Amino acid sequence: MNERENRTKDIKFYPSKSISTATFIGGPLVAGYLISENLKALNKPEEGRKYLIIGIITTIILFGGMFLIPEKTVENIPKQLIPLIYTGLIWGFVEWTQGNVLKLHKENGNSFFSGWRAAGIGLISLVIFAIGIFGYSYIESNNPVYEVYNKQMNEFSKNENKTQTFCNNFNTESESSLLNQLNQSVIPKWKTNIQIIKDLDLIENLPSELSNQNKLLLEYSRLRLEIFLLIKKMIEENTEKYQLKLNALNLKIEKVLDKLDKLK
C-alpha cells in the first residue's frame, strides 16, 4: 500500500479494546476523553470536544443518580453490572464510529498507544472520582441539616417508645387507666410527632432522601394516631365492631414500615 493511502501512519490512536478497559476502570468520562483524543488526531477537534462534554455529562448523571437511589437498592445491584453495561455500550460506539479507521490503521502496521497508558488514565479518573465521592460523603455527613433533623427524630422516637408502654400494658390495665393514658399521653404524643415531621419538612435544603422519608413518616404517624383514636372509641363504646378496621390500619402500617426499611 503506498504512502498516500496510508494516511494515518504518523498518528497514534487508542484502540477500542484499550478504550473499553479504561472505561471499565474509570467510567464514561475516560471514554469521552480517549474518543476525543482519537478525533483530535484525525484533525476533528470540535467533534472531539463534543464527545468529551458528553462524557462529562454522562458521568455526572450516572454518579449523581447513584446517590439518589436508596442504599439498600444499590446493595442489591451486582457491583460489576453497571460498569459492564456502559463499557459494552462504549465499545460498540467506538467500533461503530471509529472501527474502520482503527482497523485500517492496524492493517497498515501503524502504532497505537499502549493499553497501559489508557488503563493509567482510567485509574487516574477512578482516583479523582473516589476523592470526589468521599469528599461529598464527608461534607454531607457534617451537614448541619442532619444534626437538626436527627435531634428532632430523637424526640419522635421518644414519643413513639412512650406509646409502646400503652400497648404492652393493654391487657392488664383497667379501662379507665387506658383511657387516661390515651387522652393524656398516647394521642397527644402522636399529634406531636405529626407536627415534628411537618416542621422537619420546612428545613431549608433538606436532602431528598430525608424528604422522602418524611412523607412516609407522616403517613405512618397519621395511621398510628388513627389507630389510637379508634382504640379509644372501642373502649368508650365497649365494642369490638371496629376490629376489622383496626386490622386494616395495622396492615397499612406494615406496608409503610416496609417502605421505610427499603429507604435505609
Same domain assignment for residues 210 and 112: no
End-to-end Cα spacing for the chain? 64
In a domain, 232, yes or no: yes
The 8-class DSSP code of residue 184 comes to I
pLDDT for res 69 = 67
pLDDT tens digit sequence for 46-97: 999 999 999 889 888 887 776 666 666 666 777 778 888 889 999 999 999 8
pLDDT tens digit sequence for 72-84: 666 677 777 888 8
Distances (CA, A) of 86 to 8, 10, 69, 109, 206: 29, 31, 18, 30, 32
CA distance 87 to 29: 11
CA distance 36 to 52: 6
Same domain assignment for residues 109 and 168: no
* Cβ neighbourhood burial of 43 (10 Å; 0-12, 13-18, 19+): exposed
Same domain assignment for residues 25 and 137: yes
In a domain, 217, yes or no: yes
Give the pLDDT band (50/70/90) at residue 2: very low
8 Å CB contact between 17 and 99: no
Residue 247 has pLDDT above 70, yes or no: yes
Report percent pLDDT > 90 for the chain. 45
Average model confidence (pLDDT) across the chain: 86
Same domain assignment for residues 129 and 187: no
User: What does the block give as the cell for 260?
Assistant: 421505610
In a domain, 3, yes or no: no
Of 143 and 253, the one with more pLDDT: 253
Same domain assignment for residues 76 and 22: yes
CA distance 218 to 234: 24
Q: How many domains does the chain have?
A: 2
Same domain assignment for residues 130 and 185: no
Same domain assignment for residues 112 and 77: yes
8 Å CB contact between 21 and 37: no
In a domain, 1, yes or no: no
Which of 89, 123, 141 corresponds to the end of one domain? Answer: 141
In a domain, 4, yes or no: no
- Per DSSP, helices labelled H in the chain are 16-26, 28-41, 45-68, 71-76, 81-107, 115-141, 144-168, 175-181, 187-200, 208-237, 243-263
CB atoms within 10 A of CB 136: 12
pLDDT, average across residues 224-229:
94
Residue 3 has pLDDT above 60, yes or no: no
pLDDT for res 15 = 93
Which of 122, 141, 160 corresponds to the end of one domain? Answer: 141
pLDDT for res 162 = 83
Q: Which amino acid is at 260?
A: L
Same domain assignment for residues 132 and 150: no
8 Å CB contact between 123 and 26: yes
In a domain, 5, yes or no: no
Same domain assignment for residues 168 and 81: no
Quote the domain boundaries for residue 106.
16-141
Of 81 and 29, the one with more pLDDT: 29
Same domain assignment for residues 130 and 171: no
Give the pLDDT band (50/70/90) at residue 249: very high
pLDDT for res 203 = 86
Same domain assignment for residues 149 and 136: no
3-state secondary structure of 13: strand
Same domain assignment for residues 166 and 235: yes
